[in-house]
Amino acid sequence: MSLHPVSKMIRTRVEQTNEMEHSSPLFLTSSFSFDNAEEMRAAFADENDDNIYSRFSNPSVQEFTDRMCVLEGMESGFATSSGMSAVFASILTFLKKGDHLISCNAIFGSTHTVITKILPKYGIEYTYVPVYDIASWEAAVQDNTKMIYLESPTNPGLDLIDLKEVGDLAKKHGLIYCVDNCFATPIGQLPVEFGADLVVHSATKWLDGQGRVLGGIVLGSKKLIHEIYLFCRSTGPALSPFNAWVLSRSLETLEVRMERHASNAFYLSQQLQNHPAISWLKYPFLESHPQYAIAKKQMKNGGGLFCFELKGGLDNGRKFLDNLKMLSRTANLGDTRSIASHPASTTHAKLTEEERQAVNITPGLIRISCGLEHRDDILNDILQAL
Ligand SMILES: Cc1ncc(COP(=O)(O)O)c(C=O)c1O
């Protein structure tokens, strides 16, 4: 019987034990034992897929990985302890001294640090291209370019990059094309349809969806993921089996949650876009988004986040956060509880004004992660805080 990907994902699970449990058990174990020396030798010689040690593989982690493969339409995956370890492994597995990476300055802060501060320490060069100018992506390709790395929608500015155009470019020049799909989730967008070789996630966000565990994953072909597996097996960013078990359960409700998060975000952005305290508001599925056509082409919904620029800059941004009565002030997103953040006074406060501008953090930028509270309660809290 052929199943819709979401049904297939929900029905993908670790093999049932003799107890006939309906829900998957949690394999909370560091290592696995063998009946005899020959079996152990064969496992270490990679002659079979037996589990050896949970830094390499674990059934609970495998269940989460298999479910994500179904959702992202990818052959294989490796789950990691956080989104950042997935980002790091996806780049460092494939790039070495003298190689070059193309990315975009509209990118998550820690990924920006990896690209601009950590990669150069290993002799890996990078070029940042402007988010809106696809022609400059091709102009940035050099003889030593190995990878294009991007996220769309971007964090926190919700800019979009045409995944197909960049995918075609990567293919033309034989580059590994890696997309961080954290903001859209596989429910909202499938990078594999546009040529992505690798898809990266912070599972900490929408995949968990309740702000409980850290996790990450990289998905791709068997060949590429085997390389990532070898890198991670020795460097050790394994996902905890407990976190994997939590994440697997979360995936079962991902589609229904994302539909509601997205419809709340769409409603709120429509209601707020012309508010006099705001100079602009961005949501991928609003016609006023500068890249609305790209959003409609590559996304199935606009996602659960929107952002706006408060008039009055830094001071009003701080005041807005202080005025909130229900929304959480916290450094996360993708939760059942709505969250407001003001990057200029928090995550990016240590940067100079110029540095903030370079990564598209304007003084009054507010990012809202829409939760699952009633949409009118979220709206009323934002309105009274404005
Ligand atoms: C787009 C994006 N990628 C990666 C990460 C890193 O994920 P983690 O915090 O799980 O390491 C984040 C975290 O906010 C993110 O927003």
pLDDT tens per residue, range 346-360: 878 777 888 788 777
Query: In angstroms, what CA-CA distances link 169 with 136, 175, 299?
Result: 11, 8, 20
User: Does 1 have pLDDT greater than 90?
Assistant: no
- The predicted pLDDT at position 290 comes to 94
Query: Could you give the 3-state DSSP secondary structure of residue 241?
Result: helix
Q: How far is the CA of 217 from the centre of ligand 1 (A)?
A: 11
Helix (H) or strand (E) holding 177: strand 176-180
User: Measured from the CA of 203, which atom of ligand 1 is nearest?
Assistant: 10
Strand 305-310 relative to strand 365-369, pairing: antiparallel
- The verdict on the CB of residue 56 being under 6 Å from ligand 1 is no
Confidence of residue 341 (pLDDT cuts 50, 70, 90): very high
Q: Is 85 left (phi over 0), alpha (psi -120 to 50) or beta?
A: alpha
- C-beta atoms surrounding 244 within 10 Å: 28
Q: What is the DSSP letter of 117?
A: I
Residue 34 — pLDDT band, cuts 50, 70, 90?
very high
Across 123-142, b (16+ Cβ under 10 Å) vs e yields: ebbbbbbebeeeeebeebbe
Question: Which ligand 1 atom is nearest residue 84's CA?
Answer: 11
- Find the mean pLDDT for residues 366-382: 98
For 5-16, the pLDDT digits (tens) are: 999 999 999 999
Considering the entire predicted model, what is its pTM? 0.96
pLDDT value at 67 more than 90 = yes
Position 344 confidence tier, pLDDT thresholds 50, 70, 90? confident
Please choose from 103, 114, 158, 182 the residue to mutate so as to test ligand 1's pocket, defined by most ligand atoms within 8 A of CB: 182
pLDDT digits (tens, 9 = 90+) for 147-184: 999 999 998 899 999 999 999 999 999 999 999 999 99
CA of 202 relative to ligand 1 center, distance in Å: 5
DSSP 309-368: EETTHHHHHHHHHHH-SSSEE-S--SSSS-EEE-GGGTTTTTS-HHHHHHTT--TTEEEE
Q: Is 84 in the pocket of ligand 1 (CB under 6 A)?
A: yes
Average pLDDT, integer, range 88-100: 98
Q: Ligand 1 mean position to 253 CA, how many Å? A: 21
> With 90 as the cut, is the pLDDT of residue 331 above it?
no
Tell me what pLDDT residue 348 has.
80
Query: Whole-number mean pLDDT of the chain?
Result: 95
**In this structure, are residues 145 and 124 in contact, taking their beta carbons and an 8 Å threshold?**
no
| 298: nearest Cα among 205, 184, 217, 203 | 184
Q: What is the pLDDT of residue 59?
A: 98
Does 83 sit in the ligand 1 pocket, CB within 6 Å? yes
Tokens standing for 374?
């009633």
H or E stretch covering 169: helix 163-172
284 vs 299: CA distance, rounded Å: 9
In this predicted structure, what is the pLDDT of residue 336? 98
What φ, ψ does residue 185 adopt, rounded to 5°?
65, 160
Percent of the chain at pLDDT > 90 equals 88
Residue 75, Cβ neighbours under 10 Å: how many?
Answer: 14
pLDDT attached to residue 197: 98
Query: What's the rounded Cα separation, in Å, for the pair 353 and 334?
Result: 28
Q: DSSP readout, 125-183?
A: EEEEE-TT-HHHHHHT--TTEEEEEEESS-TTT-----HHHHHHHHHHTT-EEEEE-TT
User: Sheet holding 176-180: strands in order across?
Assistant: 76-80, 216-220, 198-202, 176-180, 145-151, 100-104, 125-129
For residues 9-36, give the mean pLDDT. 96
Q: Is 148 helix (H, G, I), strand (E, B) or coil?
A: strand
The answer, yes or no, to whether any atom of ligand 1 lies below 6 A from the CB of 149, is no
| Residue pointed to by tokens 């049904």 | 7
Q: In sequence order, which residues have a C-beta less than 8 Å from that of residue 280 and are 6 or more positions away?
A: 288, 308, 309
Distance 299 CA to ligand 1 centre (A): 20
> What pLDDT sits at residue 360?
76
* Confidence label for 187 from pLDDT (cuts 50, 70 and 90): very high
CA distance 259 to 192: 21
Residue 314 has pLDDT above 80, yes or no: yes
Measure CA 312 to chain center. 31
- 120-134, 165-179, 185-199, 352-366: segment of lowest average pLDDT: 352-366
Tell me the domains of the chain and their CATH numbers: 5-251 (3.40.640.10), 254-385 (3.90.1150.10)
Torsion angle of the four alpha carbons 370, 374, 377, 381, in this order, in degrees rounded to the nearest 10? -10
Cβ(335)–Cβ(124) under 8 Å?
no
For 251-285, what is each residue's pLDDT tens digit? 999 999 999 999 999 999 999 999 999 999 999 99
